[in-house]
Amino acid sequence: MSEPLVPNMNCANFILPYPEEIAKRTGSSGMIFSIRELYLLLARQVDDTDPQEAATLREIADYYPDVDGGELVERDSRGNMVGDANDWDELTDEQKIHRGNANAAIATLDWLRHELEKAIYDYDTDDDVTRVRRELSEISL
**Which residue ranges make up each domain of the chain?**
8-73, 88-140
Which residues contact residue 54 at a Cβ distance below 8 angstroms, ignoring those fewer than 6 apart? 43, 44, 46, 47
Q: How far apart are CA 125 and CA 138, in angstroms?
A: 20
Beta partners for residue 14, in sequence order: 9, 33
With bands split at pLDDT 50, 70 and 90, how would you rate the model's confidence at 117? confident
Q: Residue 58: which residues within 8 A CB-CB, separation 6 or more?
A: 39, 40, 43
Q: What is the pLDDT of residues 37-66, one digit of tens each?
A: 899 999 999 998 999 999 999 999 988 888
CA distance 134 to 101: 23
Pair type for strands 13-17 and 66-68: unpaired
For the full predicted model, state whether its pTM sits above 0.85: no
Is residue 58 classed as helix, strand or coil in its secondary structure?
helix
The secondary element (H helix, E strand) that includes residue 129 is helix 126-140
The residue-averaged pLDDT of 69-80 equals 69
Tens-digit pLDDT profile for residues 11-29: 778 888 888 898 888 888 8
Residue 26 DSSP SS3:
helix
Q: What percent of the chain is predicted at pLDDT more than 70?
A: 79
Among residues of the chain, what percentage have pLDDT more than 90? 15
Model pLDDT, residue 7 = 57
- Residue 64: DSSP 8-state: S
CA distance 46 to 57: 9
